[in-house]
Structure 1
Amino acid sequence: MFDKAVKPLNLEGLVAKRLDSVYQSGVRSPDWVKVKRKGAVPAERFKRGPK
């Protein structure tokens, strides 16, 4: 299911959260996690150019 959602959109992954968690501004919480697609390449806009 995960690959079906992210691969066609060429995404690196998703951000997921616990269903019962509440957003807290400025607080990093283990209730939110980044899930990367296996073998994903970071988006072009985030790559650094030559120096």
Structure 2
Amino acid sequence: MAYCGRAPTLEAFEDLLYTYGVDLGLFGHVHNSQRFYPVYKGRGDRKG
């Protein structure tokens, strides 16, 4: 689900980062996609 507007993480840390003069904050999360067999239209396909 995408988030529009001010992120809750920013709300939680904004005052702290401002108080300590932080110039750059890096925030992220992991997108992980794994495929073990070739797939076409949701089904295994040897031609991939």
TM-score (norm 2): 0.29
Q: Which has a greater percent of strand?
A: 1
| Structure with higher RCO (Cα < 8 A, 6+ apart) | 1
**Which of 1 and 2 has greater Rg?**
2
TM-score (norm 1): 0.28
